[in-house]
Structure 1
Amino acid sequence: MSHANAALTPRARLRLARLIVVEQWPVAAAAEMFMVDPSTARKWAHRYRAEGPAGMADRSSRPHRQPTRTSLV
């Protein structure tokens, strides 16, 4: 399940990434077809190359660490 602000569902991301990687569509053309920014399309294509279909899942936007976090002590 995608979060409310996601431009595409994981299934649509996979279709977009496959168009770019497998079908060798230009990034701009695929991005226009899916109504996303070319940088977003490039990101999904990169994740598809690196991780395959599993890379299309939503990821947390929460920071991995907080170096300036105030101590509770």
Structure 2
Amino acid sequence: MIGSGIGAPEKYRKVVVEKLGYVTGLQLSLRENLFDAAQNFDDLAKVSSELRLLASCLIKFAKDLRLLSSGPEAGFPYRE
């Protein structure tokens, strides 16, 4: 949830988080300080960074496999 939640009752916030968790299949929780959650996206930036690193490692791995599979009978053609 984004926002301060000042206008929403505590029970409503809990129900919304439970329903979103049920629909998405994720274990969600309500942050203690919603002002901080709306202003600081440090945790999301870290996740984005880790996903970028994972993607680059997987691309390198796929390229290495492609290179290793190249030979006289498969992969890149051999030319002199």
Q: Which has the larger radius of gyration?
A: 2
- What is the TM-score of this pair, normalised by structure 2? 0.31
Which structure has the highest helix share of the two?
A: 2
Q: TM-score, length-normalised on structure 1?
A: 0.32
Structure with higher RCO (Cα < 8 A, 6+ apart): 1
